[in-house]
Structure 1
């Protein structure tokens, strides 16, 4: 029968080994989370730094109980929304990128944004002299607010916009450059050929929109508006 002191030392040794093992696992998990957080931080900074002069990013740490994310690869689930305000970041993990988890972050950016410099009536074609610039936290703006003047000038107001208001994307519409019933030129081109035909637009169309055109032969095609009275068929 082992001596009581030897028995106690053996138990103590096992406890120390278990403690060291748990500590190693904890350190490994913390190191993995640190790598994940750093990777997401760098990704968000790269995506948002061009939007303003100062970028502030606050990331909600992932749960420590989640499995290790090997080779994290961040992405935006909705690439159409600018990286501003409260955002969700997807992260692919593992060699085959089959594991996906989502991390929440707050992005605040101090920068310039355009507001109406005067009252703008519905149906008005917006020009640069109708805008003025302000400085502030872009993250505080509405999710559909347009901050770049290039996205505003040349658009048509679809509702009255008061002086000092930001421009929401659903307030604006591209001007109609093709009218229903108008005679238009439709261009079809590809490798080594270019053909143009005249037809009748069956609906109004803004730059970049696809509308239907009827030729004199009664043939119908769908073409993309590329300018005043000009459309193209994409192959």
Structure 2
């Protein structure tokens, strides 16, 4: 009789406990799924595709209070979506109830690699490049991905075969040399003038450099072409 009573007591405990356990697990799973969907949407908005990304959301270590409408957000809106990141989750029905989860984001894509040694000042040609797929989350932010962003630019320094190209390795072709005599084109509302000057800096297309137009006068002008600077008033 005593054993029967204990069995009934155990059964009652299980009956009352199971719903509570079930309530916790789906809630955690729902939040995890919402965070993953949130990250996937943000990554696609940045141009990534589901095939090129891998998202792992780590379930919370402790019990989460009931949250029927979880709203994920980035604690820092400008943080890069790469590597280990923190994601905030706010409950729509209780905006004061905020929890934080950890996620690991991997983005896969191409980086540009030099196929031969390149000398300082040498222009990059298509045959000098190859693309290599890598985990971008482990790469520096300034690496180059697309050949169009490298072809035609000059090497700032010697580059060895197998080097991964970055924006720091290249510069626009030099169109003006230091101490070069240049043509300065000044334009404004209803007028256009030209005069000669001496460049005090070297520069590529679009660079602002100093130019001497007389013994006492130095101005800044933008490189517009080979040996040509422009000033707009």
TM-score range, shorter chain: 0.5 to 0.7
TM (norm. structure 1) is 0.62
Cα distance between partner residues in 2 of 1:20 and 1:194: 83
User: Unmatched 5+ residue regions in structure 2?
Assistant: 1-15, 92-97
Secondary structure of 1:49 counterpart: coil
Q: What are the superposed Cα offsets for residues 167-190 of structure 1, whole Å, 9 maximum, x if unpaired?
A: 23322222221122222324444x
1:57 maps to 54
Pair 216,233 (structure 1): closer, same or farther in 2 beyond 3 Å = same
- Residue in 2 aligned with 1:163? 161
* Kept in 1: contact 2:113–2:132 (CA 8 A): no
Aligned pairs (5 A) from 1:89-168: 105-111=104-110, 113-131=111-129, 133-139=130-136, 142-143=139-140, 144-168=142-166
Count of residue pairs the alignment pairs up: 209
**Mapped partners of 1:188, 1:123: distance in 2:** 32
CA distance in 2, matches of 1:202, 1:55: 47
**CA distance in structure 1 between the partners assigned to 2:153 and 2:143 by the alignment:** 14
Instruction: Within 5 Å, give how 1:1-235 maps onto structure 2.
Output: 31=30, 34-49=33-48, 54-61=51-58, 70=71, 72=73, 75-77=77-79, 86=83, 105-111=104-110, 113-131=111-129, 133-139=130-136, 142-143=139-140, 144-182=142-180, 183-189=182-188, 192-193=189-190, 195-198=192-195, 199-216=197-214, 218-233=216-231
User: Aligned to 1:118, what secondary structure does the other structure show?
Assistant: coil
Root mean square deviation, CA, Å: 4.5
Show CA shifts across 1:59-109 (max 9, x none): 44586889987584784346xxxx7x5375888989xxxx9x897542232
CA contact (8 A) 1:54 1:110 kept: no
CA contact (8 A) 2:186 2:232 kept: no
Q: For 2:168 and 2:47, how far apart are their aligned partners in 1?
A: 23
TM-score by length of 2: 0.62
Q: Residues 205-234 of structure 1, C-alpha deviation per residue, up to 9 Å, x if partnerless?
A: 122222122323843332332322233346
| 1:55 Cα deviation after fit | 0.6
- Give, in whole Å, the separation in 2 of the partners of 1:102 and 1:32: 9
